[in-house]
Amino acid sequence: MTQSFRLENVGLINRNKKLSFKFNGKVYYGYEGDTLASALIANGVHLVGRSFKYHRPRGFFGAGVDEPYAIVQLYRNGETEPNIKATEQELFEGLEATSVNCWPSVNFDIGAINNFLKIFLPAGFYYKTFMWPKSFWFKVYEPFIRKAAGLGVASTKHDKERYEHKYEYCDLLITGSGPSGLASAYAAAKNGARVILAEDKSRFGGTLLTSEVNIGNQSGKEWAESLISELKEMPNVTVKNRSQVFGYYDHNMLVMSERISDHLPKTKKFHPKQRLWYIRAKEVLISSGSIERPIVFGNNDTPGVMLSSAAKEYLKVYGVLVGKNPLIFTNNDSGYETAIEFQKNGVNPIILDTRKDPKSEIVDEAKNLGINIKFSYVVVAAQGYKKVKSADIAKISEDKEQLGAIENIKCDCICVSGFWTPTIHLASQSGNKTKFKEDIDAFVPGTSKQNETTLGAANGTYTLEETLKNSFEAGYKLSKEITKNDNKISFPNVIEKKSTVHDKFWCVPLPKGKNYKRFLDFQNDVAVSDIEIALKEGYRSIEHVKRYTTLGMATDQGKTSNLNGLQLVSKIENKVVPAVGHTTFRPPYTPVSIGAIVGREVGKHSKPTRKSPMHSWHEKNNAVFVDAGVWLRPRYYKQGNESLFEGSKREAKNVRTNVGVCDVTTLGKIDIKGPDAAELLNRVYTNAWLKLPVGKARYGVMLREDGIVMDDGTTTRISENHYHMTTTTAQAANVLSHLEYYLQLVWPELNVNVVSTTEQWAGAAIAGPKSRELLQKLFPKSDVSNEGLPFMGYMEGDLFGVKARIFRISFSGELAYEVNVESDNGYFMWEKIMEVGQEFKIQPYGTEALSTLRIEMGHVAGSELDGRTIPYDNSLEGLLSKKKDFIGKRSLNRKAFTAEDRQKVVGVVPLDKKTSIPEGSHLVKDSNAPLPNPKLGYISASCWSVEYDNPFSLAIVKDGKNMIGKKLFVMSPLKNKVIPVEIVSSHYVDPKGERVRS
């Protein structure tokens, strides 16, 4: 197929580079510099999809970000992406795209039957139609909607592309590189400010690329090019194309999405596909321009009806004619500019102007060129189904109510201009209270809330000279305040054609006896009649009307439809537009890919991974790892084909019979120093700390102020004013913050310093009946006998030349020690323990065996100290000092906490001594009781007791203290299990705690 709508020698595309691409399976050709839209139009393709609701044929409406129609499914480098705007997607060699919203094909679409049933699909049709009967939802409605509606298909594959995040700071962020953006960026940059200039499109210059103006004896395009190349060379300026600033957040933080590789067939090696910029700007200059708005008329959604500015852009930037027999329908001078461009390129347009007798330089030029202009004329309806074939036109009365006789004229496109809507999204997102500007029928930014200034067309300034003047001034003034420089550049001479006022006309009345659909929102098929129905049904707030009718929703967010929607509501309601108000603008301004938002924090990178100094040893010895917070810990060390159950049982048994070693580096460690350290501990922990001797450790429990257990651990007095605190792995960071809170805010009089030393120490727990023998061999110079190093004792030792701390503490309930060395010596320590431990049949054990050991001993841990339990619940009430006050103490006498039948931790054994009990199961009295069956408690932790070789669990049960010996049922509806159990003491093994003291 030839590019029969391509002009020769016009446009900014690179004709030396021809590109092939596929649309709906068919091969076409375009040029480098094309968008998918411009290339398709060059090939005469105007049917690109089907509309969302009625499945009416869809073509192109715009040429950029405002596009409501041309949404395609894109295929690139083996990946697919939905909801791509053909008007934004740059062409690359081998690009493939397909239509969305059509099934089985764009030319024959079964959903289009909706178009004939449209009487049944009015406003709020989702709410009404699919509500009843309820049973129809899953079987009938949802599959139907899923098949026939939706915009494209998301890929189910893992996205192998890379996305990056970048944080940046600047003096001035300027959004948009049209005349105002360029002028303010240039003025500020020349005055020494750090400037970021962001342009959404691939080409800089905005409207300067398409308008016939002269700045400083250069064409607009040349002027833009010279400024951009100068800005690019300046070290204080960052110039970015393909970059959309889409969100304006608190404290002048803006987010910008940069499309780095989307225009290439394949992302270059080591390059990201997209980059998300978080920019903190001292000042923001919004020069996002304006978007042309349509005039509403019958069948105004027919392919071939498009914005007149888009037609001009296709012509001047891409050298593409959107039609060879164009009809221009306008209420202002902009339409004339498009008509003049057609005329200059040998295509004769017809202009229908709703105005009676406009007088301006542009109108005169069109007249002089001999263009056929019909004043006080309107398009009543477009004719043609898949493409405009002709237009029904008529003269309109001065009051714009009466139509004259309908005439039909041939045309292949209708270029519409209903004047301009400033793009105020960013200003509004920043909290700016917008105001309605009568003379342009649109909202413009009002009072700034943050440091933001809106310039040029985005501020409703539609002449070039004024825009440039304001923007040079703003760039200079704002930069001067920041840099204190005073380098003002001179203002260039500007020549532009003067235009006259627009006609406030926006909607063509229906001719008698005709019932044409007149669309307001082209993406969601919202017609004038839908809004009328919504208002008739009592919807008043514009926010409600939006949601009921879907006006202004979906991927284009109503960029072309919002104002006409407001005009209609205000007309029916007999209110002025500002009284109706506009819906809230929320980020993002344009759709942003999820990949860009997530950035590199995917999979394993979603959080940092922390490894102990012994990690590589664990790896070499077949450790199976488990995530413990951000740490990777060995769960068990696999031997042969051993399962987790078998392996952990073997490891736990070896601890009970010989000796085991466990990597406990991950435990939180806090170094506490200062003359008031003991006093701090005494206030933070529930038990007494003032009399702990040097060289002794003590177990402690700390509460939150609400009485709930926060954490537990041992703290050792290293020297007079020096303590070593340990916390659980999970709570390490919170406990440090907690201590800092009290030291800095509540008791600043305490002279204490705290610092995390978690990473400074590598820790190994050595546990089992043979642990002392092993320890003696590891520290031959130290007396580690029961007398020399009693339970809860501490000493320093020499581990083959390495300084070590030895604590006699136990989590497993066995005779046990913990050895700490500086992290760098961790691997050495571990190897020595394994080497020397050989003769005692030492085995390393992982977290699973560790859990088994602590559960059968009845030691509470994270699954019991879960942020919902008080000391009593965990049988820790013996640790509550009666003599002193401590954090959270006052809360413990709350009624619920002191109730006679308060929950308490207990042990649970299945009656058959065989069935494992799923964690999280509920305990009930009667398994056959009708629902809701009263729950007595829940299983917090389960293991296979290696001591008794049967399952054992811990549970938190109501009235736990009176439950021992009772027979209950464990129910797990999730696992479909009912298990008869007996409640026993939580201290299942060695209830007197003799082993740790042996």
Partner 1 sequence: MLYIKCPHCGWRSQNEFSYGGDATVKRPKLGKEVTDQEWDDFVYNRKSLRGKHWELWQHLSGCRQWIKVERDTATHEIFKTLKASEEIS
Q: By CB under 8 A, name the binding residues for partner 1.
A: 167, 249-253, 278, 280, 431, 449, 683, 705-706, 737, 740-741, 744-746, 748, 884-886, 890-891
Residue closer to partner 1 (CB basis): 276 or 416: 276
Cα 955 vs. chain centroid, distance in angstroms?
39
Amino acid identity for residue 705 in this structure: E
> 254-286: b or e for each residue (b if 16 or more CB lie within 10 Å)?
bbbbbbbbbbeeebeeeebbbbbbebebbbbbb
Rounded Cα gap, residues 203 and 173, in angstroms: 18
**Residue 17, phi then psi, degrees to nearest 5:** -120, 100
Shortest CB 727 distance to partner 1, Å: 16
HSE, side-chain direction, 13 A CA sphere, residue 654: 24
Rounded Cα gap, residues 188 and 182, in angstroms: 10
Residue closer to partner 1 (CB basis): 367 or 890: 890
Give the residue from 293, 331, 568 showing the smallest Cα distance to 423. Answer: 293
Residue closer to partner 1 (CB basis): 248 or 845: 248
Rounded Cα gap, residues 37 and 91, in angstroms: 9
Shortest CB 255 distance to partner 1, Å: 9
Shortest CB 186 distance to partner 1, Å: 28
E strand or H helix that includes residue 765: strand 761-767
Residue closer to partner 1 (CB basis): 160 or 433: 433
Shortest CB 282 distance to partner 1, Å: 11
Residue closer to partner 1 (CB basis): 127 or 741: 741
Residue closer to partner 1 (CB basis): 719 or 737: 737
Q: Are 83 and 152 in contact (CB under 8 A)?
A: yes
Beta-carbon neighbour count of residue 682 at 10 Å? 21
Shortest CB 185 distance to partner 1, Å: 23
Shortest CB 281 distance to partner 1, Å: 11
Rounded Cα gap, residues 167 and 184, in angstroms: 23
Shortest CB 742 distance to partner 1, Å: 9
Is the preceding peptide bond at 104 cis, omega within 30 degrees of 0? Answer: yes
Torsion of CA 234, 237, 241, 247, to 10 degrees: 180
Residue closer to partner 1 (CB basis): 235 or 748: 748
627 phi-psi bin (left φ>0, alpha ψ -120 to 50, beta other): beta
Residue closer to partner 1 (CB basis): 250 or 787: 250
Residue closer to partner 1 (CB basis): 145 or 253: 253
Shortest CB 587 distance to partner 1, Å: 12
Q: Can you read off the two tokens belonging to residue 545?
A: 């009307």
Residue closer to partner 1 (CB basis): 405 or 745: 745
Shortest CB 192 distance to partner 1, Å: 21
Rounded Cα gap, residues 495 and 167, in angstroms: 40
Residue closer to partner 1 (CB basis): 143 or 431: 431
Three-class DSSP category at 63: coil
Shortest CB 881 distance to partner 1, Å: 12
Give me the count of residues in the chain: 998
Shortest CB 580 distance to partner 1, Å: 25
Residue closer to partner 1 (CB basis): 227 or 710: 710
Shortest CB 705 distance to partner 1, Å: 5
Residue closer to partner 1 (CB basis): 368 or 893: 893
Rounded Cα gap, residues 814 and 747, in angstroms: 39
Pairing of strands 950-957, 937-945: antiparallel
Residue 654 Cα distances to 573, 643, 829, 835, 845, angstroms: 83, 17, 20, 17, 9
Shortest CB 176 distance to partner 1, Å: 23
Q: Can you read off the two tokens belonging to residue 272?
A: 């990201």
Shortest CB 706 distance to partner 1, Å: 5
Shortest CB 745 distance to partner 1, Å: 5
Residue closer to partner 1 (CB basis): 555 or 891: 891
Q: Are 42 and 19 in contact (CB under 8 A)?
A: no
640 phi-psi bin (left φ>0, alpha ψ -120 to 50, beta other): left
Residue 694 Cα distances to 99, 131, 884, angstroms: 77, 73, 22
Shortest CB 890 distance to partner 1, Å: 5
Residue closer to partner 1 (CB basis): 154 or 899: 899
Shortest CB 737 distance to partner 1, Å: 6
Q: Can you read off the two tokens belonging to residue 97?
A: 């795209």
Three-class DSSP category at 374: strand
Residue closer to partner 1 (CB basis): 136 or 169: 169
- Neighbouring residues of 174: CB distance < 8 A, sequence distance ≥ 6: 181, 184, 185, 188, 195, 196, 197, 198, 284, 285, 287
Shortest CB 375 distance to partner 1, Å: 50
Q: Are 820 and 762 in contact (CB under 8 A)?
A: yes
Three-class DSSP category at 313: helix
Residue closer to partner 1 (CB basis): 679 or 773: 679
Sheet holding 816-822, edge to edge: 794-799, 802-807, 816-822, 761-767, 660-663, 843-844
Q: In DSSP terms, which residues pair with 865 in a beta bridge?
A: none
SS3 percent helix, strand, coil of the chain, rounded to 5, is 25, 30, 45
E strand or H helix that includes residue 829: helix 826-837
Q: What is the largest CA-CA distance in the chain?
A: 114
Residue closer to partner 1 (CB basis): 251 or 992: 251
